Chains A and B, each alone.
Chain A
Amino acid sequence: MDYTYYPGCSLESAHSSYSDSVKKVFNHLDCNLIELEDWNCCGATAYMSVKETVGFAISARNLALAEKHKRDLVAPCSSCYTILAKTNRYLKELPEFHQTINECLKEANLTYNLSVNIRHPLDVLMNDIGIEKIKQKAKHNLNGLKIANYYGCQIVRPERGFDDREEPMLMDDLFEALGGVNIYFPFKVKCCGGMLMTTYEDVAIKLSKEIIASAVENRADCVVTTCPLCQMNLEAYQDVINKEYKTNYNMPILFFTQIMGLAFGFNNKELGIDKLLIDSEKFSDLVIK
């Protein structure tokens, strides 16, 4: 199967390891990710809070570009995923607004006819490719690796998408099939603070701390996430959390495709695990044990 791939700005720089691991995993499962040519930033939450129509119009430019290929659009970043999906939904629900946006797109000789499906890699892996094929293609067993599955807010909300909004299970099912152990983790859809880390650091630190504390209390080996911003907040600010709350957390935070990649037999470098700030290279030994 072929999919159009929308990496997004974050996966281009700070989180290239997410992009690398997504591509590796998809190729291993005989799927092609073809990058959308000349994509632009989705606008994230920031643009929507300044100028609504512009936010939707630039987001719709990506959809218009993707429409030509008649493939589903895969966006691994939670923020990109939710913004692109929101744009799609709004344009479908508000015909007049759709017309306004198309008039804007016409300036660039583009038009969007609402035919693109926005997909998250987790959705594609579990619902298109399927757990059976993933199990077949796995080279190693996760050998009881204790995983806290952290979905974050944006891939399951606001509308019910491909998984439950309060108790999503797809990642749990995935890692159970690969031989991991899903620990009790009530914080799986709690907010990490997102962009508040730059604007209201104390608030975001508290939210991130609660998530890590829950993973530590329930004896997770690692937290696994689907979102670059969550990964950043939870990993890079553990120092600050430790200082503020007098803790000594050192919890590895990985992307779900990195753990999958280990089970598929890729090494740390190929999956970008060597780029993580908190040493997580030990997991590959555990998996190959």
Chain B
Amino acid sequence: MKIENIKVPGKLSKKEEDLRESFLRQLEVVPNSEKIKTCIQCGTCTGSCPVSYAMDISPRELIALFRAGDLETILNSKTIWVCASCYACQTRCPALIKITDIIYALKRLAMEKEIYPPNFPVHSLSESFVKIMNQFGRLHEARLLVYYFLKTNPAKLFSFMPLGLRMAKKKRIGYTASKIKDLENFKKIIKKAELSDMPREVIEKAYLEKTVGYSAVEKDTVLESKK
């Protein structure tokens, strides 16, 4: 779905223009995302949001900032990472804006461009999750917590000990990760899908790297699976 005619007042910086282009591309996979144009700034989203009190930019402000051409401020805010994706805003929006899904798109944009609020490693949780998934095809909860806290705050692992022991006593901790049988084909799906997720310049760079020079001799290239 192409979103056209979203005009911004004034002239954007080069960085902002680049962010904007990537963001609009992320929105292409959200059905009806063009409704973002119809925001009336009523604030129903902020009022419905159970965590807006902990945000530095409210959901209403987020949309205003986007329309004013300031994605960089949004990406530097805590807001997109505090969203628990409960969809309260999205179901109540009178203009039918897909706010929660748009926040997902912003999370992906932040990871793609590596712009995060200072001292804020929340994205590590998603990254740890993805790492485990790619390895086993299923999630192993205990491992997820260990990976995440090792990355962010190893001391916190100890504060989980009492709860861990209580859970263990009730036989509620899985010690071994469950693995899917057809992991090989599962990984093939991921590999193929990753191609569509990559920013265009990365694919083009890979193309150059794989078709020029020694590495072009290698057999198993990204591009072969692209065909």
Contacts and interface: CB of A to CB of B under 8 A. Distances in A.
B148 interface: yes
B29 A198 contact: no
A100 B188 CA distance: 14
A222 to B, nearest CB: 17
A38 B182 contact: yes
Contacts of B111: 49-50
A57 interface: yes
B31 interface: yes
Interface residues of A, number: 67
Contacts of B108: 49-52
A104 B133 CA distance: 17
Nearest to B125: A199
Contacts of B148: 198
Interface of A is mostly: helix
B225 to A, nearest CB: 7
Nearest to B124: A199
Contacts, number: 192
Given A50-B127, A90-B31, A196 B133 contact: no
Contact of B29 (A13, A52, A191, A193): A52
Contact of A108 (B29, B130, B188): B188
Contact of B141 (A9, A38, A189): A9
Contacts of B194: 51, 53-54
Contacts of B170: 274-277
Contact of B126 (A46, A166, A274): A46
B141 A13 contact: yes
Contact of A157 (B86, B137, B171): B86
A169 to B, nearest CB: 17
Given A153-B86, A275-B170, A199 B122 contact: yes
Contacts of B225: 107
Interface stretch (B34-42, B77-85, B207-215): B77-85
A90 B29 contact: yes
Interface in A78-119: 89-90, 93-94, 97, 100-101, 103-105, 107-110
B94 interface: no
